Structure 1
Amino acid sequence: MFGSRLPQKPEPPVSAVVTGAGSGIGRAFALEIARRGGAVLCSDINEASARATADDIRASGGEAHAVVCDVSKLSAVQKLARDAEALLAEPVSLVVNNAGVGVGGMPVGETTMADWKWTLGINLWGVIHGCHVFAPKLREQGYGGIINVASTASYSAAPLMGPYNVSKAGALALSETLSAELAGTGVRVTALCPTLVKTNIGANGRITGDTSKLFHRLMDRFGVSPDRVVRMTLDAHRRGDLYVMPQFDARLIWRTKRFVPRSYAMGVGLVNRFGLRRIH
């Protein structure tokens, strides 16, 4: 973890909004926040999955509510903020901008504009909307935080993942910008940058061809539990860490790219070609 800043003052119990809370990392965030005594507004574009997460929290004695939200639309995120004010007993003190999709398998120039727009609309504009709507509220109340779920893709730039890489790089840059803007206000910002986490992003995304085969093979071998990632992230966020890279390979890629950027770019291309060759 990097960039530690201690909280400036004691805070009330967490009252959280989590997007993409119906599955994967978002569901794990919602469940863990509730386990730690927080109240959660579970948001997802899929109403049934959002309700399932909220039902599980309530069954364990926690407070949770479920709402539908398409984070790619500013009006929907503005409504999400109003829903939070109406449903949660305490003002929102934690926003987890998690909703995301995966796209890959085609080089830049062959990836369709529809895939570019779909990916950026959710992965980047969803984070922009969440920060735009909630950051002023948190700044005004003088405590709380924002966790933006980025990815190692935000700085690893793997081939054939153009839209995904760009969307996550934007989410990381926004997190860094917002952290600087909120310094000294009592509001913390954390960017989560994992590598492979066992979620349904591969099954529900638009990762095609050999890239899809390689992705699923690597996920089966190296994917980690979202529960572990979430616990590490919430602990780091509480400490005031800006960057969370929960796996060794995420931290290795971060350092390698910064120390030997040219060699990194050549190496990642060779590794990708070798990996794709191995699946045939």
Structure 2
Amino acid sequence: MFGIDTVLSLLRTDRRTANAKAVVTGAGSGIGRSFALELARRGGDVVCADINAERAAETVALIEQLRIGSAHAVQCDVSDRGEIEALATRAQEIFGGPPTLVINNAGVGIGGKPVGDIGFEDWDWALGINLWGVVYGCEVFTPLLREAGRGGIINVASAAGFAAAPAMAAYNVSKAGVLSLSETLAAELDGTGIAVTVLCPTFVKTNVFTDGRITPASMNLTQQLARWTGLSADNVAVRTLDAHDSGRLYVVPQLDATLIWHLKRHFPEIYVRGTGLLARLLPQG
């Protein structure tokens, strides 16, 4: 038997995210998996892309258990442009045409070192996945959506993209780029029938902390903050998809992120001095 939430979701077929032909990157875990599952609950056909083929297959198995919608696992390294192009080709083969929704979600966590100590290898790794992965996704899939004359793009950024917290430069820069790209794309696609939404959460309870390159002291701090203030990935996915249905560009799902957003814009110098003090108080190593 279906639950009342599932039934109501299926009845709301006028929504952009209902019955979507969706591509989700990083769908093997965390927010990406929650996006895929929720889209399936809304009757969607979901391509679950992930660098880890086993995790992608696990998400597909979970969707098949729902007996609503359908799903397909595709291995994809988003930092490789050729693999994103291959993903687009495979998605069109599966759907029999272009997707109606693309969620550029794949990302990694990195932090704990100040600029000058990060090292170029970590810069390349973080920007390759978090920023270039989204750039490739938008550059490859946007023409397909334009040709179809409909659809949507959801890019997963972070409150880090505007908060600019210390000891997180590589992550901050990557997410700021995603935010700016999304704003630009939204302006370019205005009036085309293609919606753009960018998600900017603070802490979400996912494996991004343990799978990334975060120093032990920073890892301990972020995990504590996530326990105190973090939302579940399922909660974030539902809020974001609902916001996309409403045509909203920004999704800032937590109070702390909203406060940071307004504080930095209205009192930028005070904000920077405050983060400077925070940098001196942060644990090292």
Is the TM value for this pair above 0.5? Answer: yes
Q: How is 1:1-280 mapped onto 2 (pairs within 5 angstroms)?
A: 13-61=19-67, 62-89=69-96, 91-276=98-283
Secondary structure at the aligned position of 1:124 is classed as helix
Task: State the Cα deviation string for residues 242-266 of structure 1 (Å, max 9, x = none).
Answer: 1000001111111100000000011
Indicate if the aligned counterparts of 1:214 and 1:275 stay in contact, CA closer than 8 A: no
TM-score (norm 2): 0.91
1:69-98 CA distance string (max 9 Å, x none): 000011000000011011225630000000
In structure 2, C-alpha distance between the alignment counterparts of 1:158 and 1:200, rounded to whole Å: 20
Contact 1:41 1:88 in 2 (8 A): no
- Percent identity of equivalent pairs: 56
List gaps (5 residues or longer) in structure 2: 1-13
CA contact (8 A) 2:19 2:42 kept: no
* Equivalent AA in structure 1 for residue 227 of structure 2: D
RMSD of aligned Cα (Å): 1.7
- CA drift of 1:158 comes to 0.4
| Corresponding residue pairs, total | 270
Tell me the distance in 1 between the aligned counterparts of 2:54 and 2:19.
27
Aligned-partner SS, 1:276: coil
The one-letter amino acid paired with 2:35 is: F
Distance 1:251 1:122 in 2: 26
Q: Which has the higher contact order (CA 8 A, sep 6+)?
A: 1
Q: Which runs of 5+ in 1 are unaligned?
A: 1-8
Structure 1 residue 272: deviation in Å?
A: 4.4
**Equivalent-residue separation in structure 2 for 1:269 and 1:58 (angstroms):** 49
1:13 CA drift (Å): 2.8
Change (3 A) 1:144 1:232: same
C-alpha distance in structure 2 between counterparts of 1:81 and 1:91, whole Å: 8
CA distance in 2, matches of 1:110, 1:272: 15
- Which whole-Å CA distance do the structure 2 matches of 1:266 and 1:188 have between them? 37
Aligned equivalents of 1:88, 1:57: Cα separation in 2? 17
Please tell me whether the aligned partners of residues 15 and 90 of structure 1 are also in contact (alpha carbons under 8 angstroms).
no
Q: Which one is further off, 127-136 or 218-227?
A: 218-227
- One-letter amino acid of the structure 1 residue matched with residue 233 of structure 2: P
